[in-house]
Amino acid sequence: MSKLLEAALAARENAHAPFSKFKVGAALEDQTGRIFTGCNVENATYGLTVCAERVAVLKAISEGARKFTRIAIAADTDVLTPPCGACRQILWEFCGNAELILVNLQGKTESLRMKDLFPRPFDASFLD
């Protein structure tokens, strides 16, 4: 198993999901090979909950990373779990058409590109 997938699975263990019990981990790789991880962090109001993918992106940005090649997302589901709509938007804006690798605890994986998941994204090009 790749370092990126292992990092996403390990990050999942740090998730704070006392309400949904749905733990997710993410590992984002930048163009230099650095890996930034994130896990979902729930809040009793749910609206303030932050997904693993967004945590990883924001953590990477806060550490100075700007160009990303791929992200792995780990969850304990038989059917591999894609990112939610809000995460798709953030991933598109910061990662573009990056490779997305979904993984579960049994090691099942699927690889796709952001354009496959988010074919008509809104981004800064509409603001010019």
Active site residues: 53
The phi-psi region of residue 59 (left if phi > 0; otherwise alpha if psi is between -120 and 50; otherwise beta) is: alpha
Q: Give the DSSP letter string of 49-74.
A: -B-HHHHHHHHHHHTT---EEEEEEE
Q: Where are the beta strands (DSSP E) in 4-43?
A: 24-30, 35-39
Structure-token pair, residue 41: 């962090």
